A and B are shown apart, each in its own frame.
Chain A
């Protein structure tokens, strides 16, 4: 029995997928021939979410399907879609990675390790979040606390097949005190990943669920005493637990540019990822990051997550993920998106709008929580089947072939008022 909940997130569906695998992409098998199906009256879930309002729109005429037919010598099927994708320099069996979990207890100990082991077995790239070292320790000489970085790294690496996957280690402004990147870069346990080009470092510029402010956790009195020297702590909840706040870190264009350059300079053998919050200047920041040499830019939508965040931020702060993707458009580098990714259509819409890959956050955590041994693996099998079905329906046979024209946006979104930037229908935003 798990205590993990995810209000406002399709938790039951995710858990069903973790139990049933690919079968969960369809209505229950017992209904076959016995029930009639149709669209719900309105979109399920958050009716105002741009990506949920959008629809995938297959054409009649499909020149790429003809190419595939010629290539195969037979009519192509959904099973002919090749999902293998270069994810920021890491090779993944599908355009998906496991994004960082917040440092709250939700991602603690066993679940974190179960996610690591299953992601490793699947060869999915995985991000290890900020604060894991600061709060959980690294696990080398500090008596290996349960949630340590090293334990996750090991669980992942031991299961990892050759030639797939890799780990992106996140560092925020305050993690710099613990020198997380330097630690990993010089550690023997990370060496196999480094030597095989499967180590990335992700600079965390901001928080998805609470853009503009830093990371937050609730800590007990004992932990608070240990952290007091480094973090502000406030008894806002009146429960005996204290709210620990990180600073978000200060960025200007020059600060971001130079931090990326310094990462490339200091860690020449690691891939460089940059994680942006859903900020109003997200397009400018992404463009700058790519120019400075980032291998990938991740946009984390204001969609909630595993971290602790004030309700005002969850409901009212930050651009919706879909708007971020429209503003960035087809950029000069690899773009990833995370935020309420749990089923194929939302993922494929994001890919069509310019993303190279999508990140599973809460979905990965819930799936592994449902079944520590195989939950994430079954969940991913279902997602892969859905993606193949959807991509082939659009007459495409690789995720990279998707185009913004594969997505239809409701008219008022597609032609926003001229004050919104940038204006115009989706197609007009292509370079």
Chain B
């Protein structure tokens, strides 16, 4: 039973078939095998670089408020309102008190706006490769993203080529990832390019979904967009000290129209700046009690990022829609297993 109607022009990929058909389909098996190779490669790379894999928290009194327009899931925790993690960002920063370089393969739940059900790239339940590095700059973080994605693609080409072939993925197009460093453009430049192409992108906001699709479709290799304006992201993305109003953050955008794979940033870690940023993002600092207590007494400066596992799988495997990378996909608003 679906609770929403898909747009008339939605492709067949926008709607999953019945569960038995989906679970029995060879395509599903291939896609999950590619995902397995990606996760294996990610762990191989990160542990090789000295990262500690931690188990991700699932619930907490607060979670990441930075997810554009989506709603958090409340749960009744012995009479207290707790949240399912929309991302573990707050816990990642806190964990740096124990380990300098950490990662999770973390489950996240976000009740996304209903119109995202047919963007082919939103799931209400998904996973992130969530990485945080104490003392790192944004440039060091993007270097890790690039090396991690390249390593995953290399391993998939080496070890899961038959699954790629089964899915009809163009291995040559994918192999271009390995050729050279990813290009890096600023948000301002991205807006300029979109305006040139006639797309009315708001310069003070996140690149909208249509704009992101245009940029992604015009690229042959993944690229970073950096320096998003304040007012487009959560309070934990650090504001530049030399260019106020601009954030020391980045997205990684996949080519061929696959869109955003990853968001990351240098983090705010200074108490005073963080409280002001919380207000600027409309947050009530009181609810972040445990986190602000730690921040007030000091947490390490850091950079980090989260790569959407199903999105990366979709891109590497060349899938029409992100739900094809999930055994039990939850499309926004769609009632399913």
Contacts and interface: CB of A to CB of B under 8 A. Distances in A.
Contacts of B113: 185-186
Contacts of B202: 264-265
B232 A191 contact: no
A177 B284 contact: yes
B241 to A, nearest CB: 15
A262 interface: yes
Interface residues of A, number: 35
Contacts of A252: 279
Nearest to B205: A265
A223 interface: no
Given A259-B281, A262-B231, A265-B231, A188 B68 contact: no
Contact of A265 (B4, B114, B206): B206
A191 B7 CA distance: 14
A174 interface: yes
Interface in A246-270: 247, 249-252, 254-255, 257-269
A186 B232 contact: no
B280 interface: yes
7 contacts: A182-B69, A182-B111, A249-B279, A255-B279, A255-B280, A259-B280, A261-B229
Contacts of A250: 279
Given A186-B111, A188-B114, A229-B80, A266 B68 contact: yes
Interface of A: 171, 173-174, 176-177, 179, 182-183, 185-186, 188, 191, 203, 229, 247, 249-252, 254-255, 257-269, 293
Contact of A262 (B70, B71, B281, B284): B281
A264 B232 CA distance: 9
A261 B231 contact: yes
Contact of A179 (B72, B204, B205, B231): B72
Contact of A261 (B232, B283, B333): B232
A201 to B, nearest CB: 11
A252 B280 CA distance: 9
Contacts of A188: 3-4, 114, 333
B281 A258 contact: yes
B112 interface: yes
Contacts of B205: 261, 264-265, 268
A262 B232 contact: yes
B284 A182 contact: no
A295 to B, nearest CB: 14
B1 to A, nearest CB: 13
A135 to B, nearest CB: 14
B82 to A, nearest CB: 12
B164 to A, nearest CB: 35
Nearest to A293: B204
Name which of A252, A263, A266 has the most chain B CB atoms within 10 A of its CB: A266
B114 A191 contact: yes
Contacts of A183: 71
A369 B72 CA distance: 36
